[in-house]
């Protein structure tokens, strides 16, 4: 089968977004989360998407928590609102399927609601929000409803562990988590370190009870002088737990720190910058949020920075 523009136009007329990649033809519905891959289709390289499948954007470094293991410095830096809108349009045109607004804490970014509305109404991008949830009061939830397609909620430990690490009430967190279910499907982001690894069973059971769509495991990464990252004993315990897991909530493991564990990448031909990229609060495009070096996005846009990063990524390691 040869893909042509008539096929693409017809598919875009419905709710399915089309992404052409080395894996084949990827059909995606941002409302339902449905993914269909036609992997036996021969696709001309000239039609393949140039943008990553997903791009995370750190809107601000500001956060009202002070977790020692967080990679984001707690500064007042924030991205320019109009620049972000331009980047969203460019990513959409070049085949990106979804963007994730994070930080810092994205609910502290003044233009968050308008950006989510713009992305949903002006582009075909799926909008994901990564948040600690404590600012998602009823008013903000109402403003975001219909303009966010998936929420990733950070929950490092349960009960006393959570409260010690995050300095917030766990019972209050559960109340916010319950309210989020009315906004969009959600997943749990769970940072794994020596203090949280013993809470994994309780955390994933809670995720199942609350109806989480996935449980994303984030092995702690080194953050300059603030923390050294997950230790060898903990990573071994973590691996054993993942291997033995038989729960109902799908597990995923971040590529950073996976240490040989499967990362549940459904498209084997889409790795690295074909699958994911990150834009930090300075406007630099990186391979991940933990990278210390990236390419500044100038007036020529995201795709120029992506081309440079793709060409010189070995030099930036």
pLDDT value of position 12 = 45
With pLDDT > 90 as the criterion, what percentage of the chain qualifies? 72
What pLDDT digit, counting tens, does each position of 28-51 carry?
Answer: 999 999 999 999 987 888 989 999
What average pLDDT does the segment 266-272 reach? 81
User: Which comes out higher in pLDDT, residue 263 or 18?
Assistant: 18
Say if residue 99 is in the same domain as residue 14.
no
The pLDDT score that the predictor gives to residue 45 is 87
pLDDT digits (tens, 9 = 90+) for 298-307: 999 999 999 9
Q: How far apart are CA 157 and CA 36, in angstroms?
A: 34
Overall pTM > 0.75:
yes
Q: Residues 38, 65: one domain?
A: no
First-to-final CA distance of the chain: 40
pLDDT band of residue 2 (cuts 50, 70, 90) is very low
Do 10 and 75 lie in one domain? The reply is no
Together in a domain, 27 and 98: no
> Do residues 72 and 112 make contact, with C-beta atoms less than 8 angstroms apart?
no
Strands (E), 175-315: 186-192, 214-219, 251-253, 276-279, 284-286, 295-296
Residue 158's domain comprises 54-316
pLDDT at 261 over 50: yes
Average pLDDT, the chain: 89
| Cβ atoms of residues 64 and 108 within 8 Å | yes
Q: Rounded to the nearest 5°, which phi and psi values hold at 291?
A: -65, 140
pLDDT tier at 73, thresholds 50, 70, 90: confident
**176 sits in which H/E element:** helix 170-180
Residues 175 and 135 in one domain: yes
Note whether 204 and 287 are same-domain residues: yes
Q: Are residues 200 and 232 in the same domain?
A: yes
Q: For residue 178, how many C-alpha atoms fall within 13 Å in the half-sphere facing its CB?
A: 7
CA distances (Å), 47 to each of 19, 39, 54, 97, 274, in order? Answer: 9, 15, 18, 15, 14
Strand runs (DSSP E) across 170-298, as ranges? 186-192, 214-219, 251-253, 276-279, 284-286, 295-296
Q: Give the whole-angstrom CA distance, residue 252 versus residue 274.
A: 19
Q: What's the structural domain count of the chain?
A: 2
Could you give the maximum distance between any two Cα atoms of the chain, in Å? 57
Q: Based on the domain organization, do 12 and 160 belong to the same domain?
A: no
Task: Give which of 157, 213, 204, 156 is closest to 180, Cα–Cα.
Answer: 213
Is residue 313 over pLDDT 80? no
Q: Are residues 148 and 74 in the same domain?
A: yes
- Which of 59-68, 194-203, 223-232 has the least mean pLDDT? 223-232
Strand, helix or coil for residue 298: coil
Same domain, 42 and 79: no
């Amino acid at each position: 089968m040869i893909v042509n523009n008539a096929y693409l136009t017809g598919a875009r007329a419905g709710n399915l977004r089309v992404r052409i990649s080395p894996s084949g033809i990827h059909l995606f519905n941002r409302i339902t989360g449905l993914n269909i891959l036609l992997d036996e289709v021969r696709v001309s390289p000239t039609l393949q998407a140039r943008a990553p499948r997903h791009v995370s954007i750190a809107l601000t470094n500001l956060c009202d928590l002070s977790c020692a293991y967080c990679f984001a410095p707690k500064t007042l830096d924030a991205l320019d609102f109009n620049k972000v809108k331009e980047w969203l349009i460019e990513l959409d045109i070049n085949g990106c399927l979804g963007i994730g607004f994070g930080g810092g804490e994205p609910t502290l970014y003044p233009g968050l609601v308008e950006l989510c509305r713009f992305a949903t109404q002006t582009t075909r991008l799926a909008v994901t929000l990564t948040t600690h949830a404590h600012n998602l009061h009823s008013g903000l939830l109402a403003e975001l409803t219909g303009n966010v397609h998936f929420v990733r909620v950070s929950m490092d430990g349960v009960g006393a562990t959570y409260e010690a690490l995050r300095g917030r009430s766990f019972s209050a967190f559960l109340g916010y988590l319950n309210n989020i279910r009315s906004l969009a499907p959600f997943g749990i982001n769970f940072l794994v370190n020596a203090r949280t690894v013993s809470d994994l069973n309780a955390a994933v059971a809670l995720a199942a009870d609350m109806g989480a769509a996935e449980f994303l495991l984030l092995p702690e990464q080194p953050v300059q002088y603030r923390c050294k990252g997950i230790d060898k004993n903990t990573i071994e315990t973590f691996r054993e737990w993942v291997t033995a897991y038989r729960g109902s909530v799908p597990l995923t493991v971040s590529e950073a720190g996976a240490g040989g564990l499967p990362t549940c990448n459904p498209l084997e031909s889409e790795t690295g910058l074909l699958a994911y990229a990150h834009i930090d609060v300075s406007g630099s495009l990186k391979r991940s949020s933990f990278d210390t070096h990236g390419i500044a996005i100038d007036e020529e846009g995201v795709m120029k920075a992506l081309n440079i990063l793709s060409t010189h990524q070995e030099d930036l390691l």
